[in-house]
Structure 1
Amino acid sequence: MVSARSEPGSQAPQSPTVGVLALQGDVREHVRALTDVGAFVRPVRRPAELDDVDALVIPGGESTTISKLAETFELLEPIRKRIGDGMPTYGSCAGMIMLASEVLDGRPDQQSFAGIDMSVRRNAFGRQIDSFEAPVEIDGISGPAFHAVFIRAPWVERVGEGVRVLGRVTDGTAAGRIVAVRQGNLMATSFHPELTGDLRVHALFVDLVRAAA
């Protein structure tokens, strides 16, 4: 179990190298959080940079823009291949959409990395004005509920047999909606842990990366 709040510190001798897809979105925030939980972090904008990392984080942002830029920078197929080969990958918000095998309410030409067997509804919680914060209990994280930030967030409407549900909304009209999942070495949340001071989701992912190595 990941403790209630991971302490920042210097990188351990066997720290993994985690790439952050640096095409659009909350790149700096993820870099800071991953560094604070002990990972070496590198931005990834080109296929050659992808070859130098052990794992990848896909940040929140705008999923259709990330999809188009991944094609433009010739990263779509290389990332799909690395994911298929077992590379640990975590996506927050738009990153969750990019990891889904099916995107509902997306653009007709929108593509994803299709790593997790799930159907995700884009902007399911509403527009920017409908953004909100709420506690979410996350399987694998001890301590108090995670204070989750939802901004134009998706939710998961279907998961395949190999997908483990890590968290659901507990209150309000969206109670029961799936907002955190894991399938093998892949993890996704519909909220933005990078926008909080709580490092537990990033610590959980880095532990996953270390275990995969």
Structure 2
Amino acid sequence: MKKHVGIVCVQGAFIEHKHALDALGCTCIEIRNRSDITSDIDALVLPGGESTAQSRLLHDLRLFDTLKERIEQGMPTLATCAGLILLAKTIDGTGDLQGLNESAANKRLAVEGFQTLNVCVQRNAYGRQLSSFHTQLYCARAGRELPATFIRAPRITSCGAHVEVLMQYNESAVAVQQDNQIACTFHPELDSDLFFHKTLISL
């Protein structure tokens, strides 16, 4: 049966997720308004981008409560980079506040996320855009190394109950799963290996 996957398209790098899911034969539904969240959506993607802007837009467009409810009810969800920040139970915003004035720093910390994933994350912990890097990391679930592209990536600083660590980098979790939620600090949609998208649609 062809899967219908909703991709949140209010801000950020969502088109690459669409290409990955198209390659797997999915029907992609671009979510920009409440009316786009239809009953036939089987899974959800929260893409990378700017978590503060995404949080604000999800509230302004009245998408937030409906998406949170769907996730809490068990909808399979793949979140990457900023999407992970939106899922996280706790956000440590200190990772990208250096050099900002008090007003700008307070705005950066104003991310009201879904708080459905039992992890704590630190924003931009791997550095700014110029510090982006690509590597290969072993994933026991996949049984092989997977490509991992880090762009202004958050760091998972702690994992709570029911969170399974799927991949690590320098002893820090960079991919996790908690029940129906899969979250990566990096961008699997930018590489050709579709392991995480396949895992999403298999849930």
Taking structure 2 as the reference length, the TM-score comes to 0.89
User: Per residue, is there more strand in 1 or in 2?
Assistant: 2
Cα distance in structure 2, aligned partners of 1:127 and 1:151: 8
Give 1:109 shift. Answer: 2.1
Q: Which residue of 2 aligns with 1:105?
A: 93
Alignment pair present for 1:162 and 2:150: no
Q: Which residue of 1 aligns with 2:38?
A: 51
Q: Unaligned regions of 5+ residues in structure 2, if any?
A: 95-107
Give 1:48 shift. Answer: 2.1
Cα distance in structure 1, aligned partners of 2:42 and 2:197: 15
Instruction: Classify the secondary structure of the residue corresponding to 1:83.
Output: helix
Give 1:60 shift. Answer: 0.8
Give 1:177 shift. Answer: 1.0
Runs of 4+ in 1 over 6 A off after TM superposition: none
**Kept after mapping to 1: 8 A contact 2:86/2:111:** no
Q: What's the % identity of the aligned pairs?
A: 38
Residue among 164, 179, 186 paired with 1:191? 186
Q: Which residue of 1 aligns with 2:66?
A: 78
**Kept after mapping to 1: 8 A contact 2:78/2:181:** yes
Amino acid at match of 1:157: T
**Kept after mapping to 2: 8 A contact 1:26/1:194:** no
Instruction: Classify the secondary structure of the residue corresponding to 1:113.
Output: coil
The RMSD of aligned alpha carbons is: 1.2
1:31-42 correspondence to structure 2 within 5 Å: 31-42=18-29
Q: Unaligned regions of 5+ residues in structure 1, if any?
A: 1-13, 170-174, 209-213
Residue among 14, 17, 22 paired with 1:30? 17
Number of equivalenced pairs: 189
Instruction: Classify the secondary structure of the residue corresponding to 1:191.
Output: coil
